[in-house]
Amino acid sequence: MKMKTKHIITILLFLLSISFYPQGKKMLEKKEQIYALKVAFITNNLSLTSAEAERFWPIYNTFEEKQFDLKRQKSISYNKKMVDETLGKMSDKEALAVLTQMEATEDELFQLRKKLIINLKSILSPVKIIKLKKAEEEFNKKLLQQYRNKGTKK
């Protein structure tokens, strides 16, 4: 069963990589494709019952949306400040303010994850919650590896 799952995921990731080649694809479509693959990957790895899935996905999707929005919003702000020209002119006081903002963002992300875990405790077993974290990490690792492999083939 595990081997079959790995083959399916490999095929899905390959198909996803093919879809990245057309330049006309929009970023939103890519995000949706990646998220669909992530959903399949997590569903496979957690072996959710239909009752668990029905309660799990709305909570997880809300978490993902909030996390994405927070990261996007903050990265826009940080990217403006991380330009070499801006960094070279930044005072220690300004840098300290940026560090404080970065710490606050990390804390917000931590609080989001903590809230997710609290909400999932009434739905999933502790083992499945840990499997979720592991599945997320494995998915991100596979996605990053695929991206790296695609970059070396150009």
Task: Report pLDDT digits (tens) over 31-88.
Answer: 888 899 999 999 999 999 999 999 999 999 999 999 999 988 888 777 777 766 677 7
First to last CA, the chain: 34
Task: Report pLDDT digits (tens) over 9-22.
Answer: 555 444 444 444 45
Q: Is 116 exposed, middle or buried (0-12, 13-18, 19+ CB in 10 A)?
A: buried
In this prediction the pTM is 0.72
Task: Give the 3-state secondary structure of 46-97.
Answer: HCCCHHHHHHHHHHHHHHHHHHHHHHHHHHHHHHHHCCHHHHHHCCHHHHHH
Residues 143-151: what's their mean pLDDT? 84
* pLDDT at 83 (0 to 100): 67
Q: What pLDDT band is residue 3 in, cutting at 50, 70 and 90?
A: very low
Cβ 43 vs Cβ 50: under 8 Å: no
* pLDDT at 154 (0 to 100): 52
* pLDDT at 74 (0 to 100): 83
> Which range is least confidently modeled, 78-82, 117-121, 126-130?
78-82
Q: What pLDDT band is residue 127 in, cutting at 50, 70 and 90?
A: very high
Task: Report pLDDT digits (tens) over 79-118.
Answer: 777 766 677 788 899 889 888 988 999 999 999 999 999 9
Give the list of residues 6+ apart from residue 34 with CB closer than 8 angstroms, or none: 16, 143
CA distances from 118 to 122, 131, 133 (A): 8, 15, 14
Interatomic CA distance for residues 40 and 90, integer angstroms: 45
* pLDDT at 60 (0 to 100): 97
